[in-house]
Chains A and B, each alone.
Chain A
Amino acid sequence: MDLHQISLKLQAGKAKDVKALVQQAIDEGVPAHEILEKGLVAGMNVIGEKFKNNEVFVPEVLVAARAMNMGASLLKPLLAAEGVKATGKVCIGTVKGDLHDIGKNLVKMMLEGKGLEVIDLGTDVAPETFINTARDEHCQLICCSALLTTTMGAMADVVEAAKDAGIRDQVKIMVGGAPVTEAFCKQIGADAYTPDAATAAEVAVQLCSK
C-alpha cells in the first residue's frame, strides 16, 4: 500500500483513518519500522515544518499527534519484536515551581513524532529528578520547560545539578518556554534553546545523534 496515504490522513488529523490504514499496512506485511518512518513520522515532519512556518497552529499539531499516537499504539509491539531501537532517549518536564505544561506536552509529542523515546516527568520537576532520571535511564538529553519569568531561574539549577552529579558531559540540556531566550540559555550554560516545538524536535534529534 501507499504509506503516503497514512501521512496525508495524519496531517488532516483523521485519527480513525490513520489507525485503519496502519492496520491495513500491517496486514499487508509492511514492516512496522517502514510504516512508522514513511507514514507516521513523515506526516509529523510535514506538520512540524508547517508549524515552524506559522502555516498551521497548535490545535492542528495536537490533533495530528493524537492521530499519530493512535497509529503508533498498533506499531509499538511490532517494533519491539523487530528489535527497532528509538533514535534517542529524552526526559522532559516543566521546572520546579512551574505547572504550565501545555507547551511541554507539545514538545513531547513532536519529539515522539521524530521517533525519539520520551520519559515525561510531568510538572514542577525538581533538578535532582531530571538528573537521576537521565542517569538511571541513560537519556542523552534533558528538556526543561518554563512558562513564567518567576520559574525560569530553576533551569540554571538543572544545569548545576548535572555538573554536581558529574554527568554534564554525558547529557545535553535543552531549554524552552515563553520567557526563555537564546541569551538566557547561554548565560546558564545550557546546550540549546529553541523557539518552538518543531525546532525543538529537530535539534533534539541532532543532539541525540552526536
Chain B
Amino acid sequence: MHELTVRQGTACTRLSFEGTPILADLLAEHGFPVQRPCGGRGKCGKCAVEVSGCLSQPTAAEVAAGARLACQTTLLGDAQVTLPEAPERARIELSGEASFRPLAPVSGRLGLAVDIGTTTLAARLLELSTGKTLGQAAMLNPQTAVAADVMGRIGAALEGKLALLQHQILQALEALLNQACQQAHRDPAEVDVLSVAGNTTMLYLLTGRNPESLSHAPFEADCLFGQETTLLGRRTLLPPCMNAFVGADITCAVLAAGQCLEEGPSLLCDIGTNGEIALWKDGVLYVTSTAAGPAFEGAGISCGCGSIPGAIDQVSAENGALQVHTIDEAAPVGVCGSGLIDAIAALLQLEIIDETGAADEDEIPLSGGVSLLSRDIRAVQLAKAAVAAGIDTLLETAGVAPEALTHLSIAGGFGSHLRVASAVAIGLIPSSLAQKVRILGNASLTGACRLLMDAAAQSSAAEIARRSQHVSLGGNPRFNHLYVEHMLFPEQE
C-alpha cells in the first residue's frame, strides 16, 4: 500500500493506493477532476501537474510538453502532487424559457428537468401546478474526469467503468436536485418527478446500460429510451433519442423550438464538441451529428478557457486594430468559444490571416499576454469545417437551398453567446442565414421542462423521433469533399 499526498490550495489530502495506477486515474477516482480534452493521450498538456516521489520516467509526450502530465505519469510508490487551485466555476447555460403554461402537467408537486451534456449539466426546478421556475442549478459533468468525449466514455464503460460512470452521474443528479431545492427553499422530498434529456450515450450511462452497440458500426443503438424509469427513487421521464448519434437532447431542442410544428424548411443546430444538426422539410426531420472537436468550448486551444472572469469573450476590428472585451472586464486570462470565433473573424478582416488560415507570425497577440497560435487557428478550421460541411450535406440530401430556409435555430451554450456576424465571417454558418438566426439558449432543458408541463409534449417528442431520418457523414464522399472546401475561410469582401 502506497500513499499519494494531494495538495490543492491550502487543502491537503492523502490517498492510499495499491499497484501502479496512472496519476490522472487515481485522482479522478477520488473526486479530483482532471481535464483530459485529448482523452488522456498526452497531447493537450491540460493536465500538467507538479509531482514528485516514486514515479515512472517521463514519456516522450511529457518531454515534449516540458512538464509531468497526470495522464502519462504512473505512480510506482509514495508521491506528492500539487494541483492547480480549483478553477472558478464556468458559466453554464441555463437560459431558455423560465415559465411554462401548465397545459396538462404530470402529477406531483415539484418536477426537476435536467439536461445532461457531455461537458455540463443543467437543471431547472418547476412547480408542476403553475409551471413556474423555482430554482436552477448547474455543474460540470463529473464524468469528464474519466474521459472528455463521448467515445472515450464508451471505451471506459466497456473496460469495466460503467458502474463508476453511472454512480458519478447519479450523484451529480442528486446534487443538482438538492442545489435547486435549496435555492427555492423547498424540501427535496417534494420533488416527485424528473425529466432527463441528454445525448444517447449519456442516457445509456445514466441508466447503467452497456453501450457496446454504440461502440462500432453500424452504430445501431439497442435502446432509444422514450420511456419512464425510476431514478433517485422518483418517477423519471426519459425522452426518446433519434439514433446512436442524435439523442434525446436534440429531440427536446426540436420540441422546444417547435420546429416540427412549422411549415419549414428550417434548420436547428446545437454546436458543441459534437455539432448536431436537424433539418425539417416536408414532414421529414433529417438529422446528423458531426465531430467538431472541443475547440468551440475552448479546449485544445492553447489559450482556451471556459466562460470564466477574464475570458476574452468579444473581439472586434476597429480602425485597423483589435478591440478586446473580457468577462467581468477582468484582466485577460484566455479566450472562450465566442471570443475565439470573434478573434478569427477580426483577424480575417484585418488580413492578419488569409483565407487558407495562414499568418505571417506563428503567434498573434490578442491582449495582455493572451495570444492565438497558428495551431489554434487550425483547430478552429477543423471544427468549423465539420459543422459547415454537415449543414451543407444535410441541405443537399434534403434538396434544400440555404436561401429557402425560413430560419436557423441555434441551441446550446456555445451558440447562446455566438455573434452571428462573426460566425458568418468565418464560414461557420451560411451567409444567407445571417438575418434568420434564432438563439434558443439551452433548448434541450426547455424541452425537458415541456415534458413535465404538458402530457401532449410526450407524444410530440415520440413523433419527432419517429419522423427523424439519419444522414450519415462518416464515409460520405460528399461530406468529405465539402469538409475540405470548408477548411478555407470565406474570401473577405
Cβ 8 A contact of A122, one of B151, B381, B475, B488: B475
> Does chain B have a CB within 8 A of A96?
yes
List the A side residues contacting B375 at CB < 8 Å: 57
**A66 to B484, Cβ gap below 8 A?**
yes
**B475 to A101, Cβ gap below 8 A?**
yes
**Closest Cβ of chain B: how far from A36's Cβ, in Å?**
20
> Does chain B have a CB within 8 A of A12?
yes
**A99 to B487, Cβ gap below 8 A?**
no
**A150 to B474, Cβ gap below 8 A?**
no
**A13 to B151, Cβ gap below 8 A?**
no
List the A side residues contacting B379 at CB < 8 Å: 57
Residue interface bits B285-305, CB-to-A below 8 A is 1, else 0 = 000000100000000000000
> Does chain A have a CB within 8 A of B357?
yes
Closest to B485 in A: A66
**B488 to A63, Cβ gap below 8 A?**
yes
**B356 to A98, Cβ gap below 8 A?**
no
Cβ 8 A contact of A60, one of B216, B218, B357: B357
**B215 to A150, Cβ gap below 8 A?**
yes
Give complex CA distance A123, B217 in Å.
Answer: 10
Residue interface bits A78-116, CB-to-B below 8 A is 1, else 0 = 000000000000000010111111100100000000000
**A123 to B378, Cβ gap below 8 A?**
no
List the B side residues contacting A60 at CB < 8 Å: 356-358, 378
Interface centre among A96, A98, A149 (most CB of B within 10 A): A149
Judged by DSSP, the binding face of A is: loop
List the B side residues contacting A102 at CB < 8 Å: 483
List the B side residues contacting A29 at CB < 8 Å: none
Give complex CA distance A7, B343 in Å.
Answer: 31
**Closest Cβ of chain A: how far from B352's Cβ, in Å?**
16
> Does chain B have a CB within 8 A of A62?
yes
Closest to A94 in B: B475
> Does chain A have a CB within 8 A of B158?
yes
Closest to A121 in B: B475
**Closest Cβ of chain A: how far from B150's Cβ, in Å?**
12
> Does chain A have a CB within 8 A of B226?
no
Interface centre among B215, B483, B487 (most CB of A within 10 A): B487
**Closest Cβ of chain B: how far from A184's Cβ, in Å?**
15
Residue interface bits A46-72, CB-to-B below 8 A is 1, else 0 = 000000000001111011011000000
Q: How many residues of A contact B (CB 8 A)?
A: 28
Residue interface bits A107-134, CB-to-B below 8 A is 1, else 0 = 0000000000000001110000000000
Closest to B475 in A: A123
> Does chain B have a CB within 8 A of A207?
no
**Closest Cβ of chain A: how far from B371's Cβ, in Å?**
17
**B357 to A99, Cβ gap below 8 A?**
no
> Does chain A have a CB within 8 A of B469?
no
The verdict on A59 contacting B217 (CB below 8 Å), with A13-B356, A13-B358, A66-B484 known, is no
Give complex CA distance A101, B41 in Å.
Answer: 20
Residue interface bits B364-382, CB-to-A below 8 A is 1, else 0 = 0000000000110011011
Closest to A178 in B: B41
> Does chain A have a CB within 8 A of B472?
yes
Closest to B386 in A: A102
The verdict on A151 contacting B382 (CB below 8 Å), with A12-B358, A57-B375, A59-B357 known, is no
**Closest Cβ of chain B: how far from A31's Cβ, in Å?**
29
**Closest Cβ of chain B: how far from A61's Cβ, in Å?**
10
**B378 to A59, Cβ gap below 8 A?**
yes
**A12 to B484, Cβ gap below 8 A?**
no
> Does chain B have a CB within 8 A of A38?
no
The verdict on A124 contacting B484 (CB below 8 Å), with A99-B474, A150-B158 known, is no
**A63 to B356, Cβ gap below 8 A?**
yes
List the B side residues contacting A98 at CB < 8 Å: 216-217
**B484 to A62, Cβ gap below 8 A?**
yes
**A124 to B217, Cβ gap below 8 A?**
yes
Closest to A66 in B: B484
**Closest Cβ of chain A: how far from B44's Cβ, in Å?**
14
The verdict on A59 contacting B487 (CB below 8 Å), with A99-B219, A150-B155 known, is yes
Cβ 8 A contact of B480, one of A57, A101, A151: A101
* Contacts of A142-188 to chain B: CB distance below 8 A: 148-151, 178
Using a CB–CB distance below 8 Å, which chain A residues touch chain B? 12-14, 57-60, 62-63, 65-66, 94, 96-102, 105, 122-124, 148-151, 178
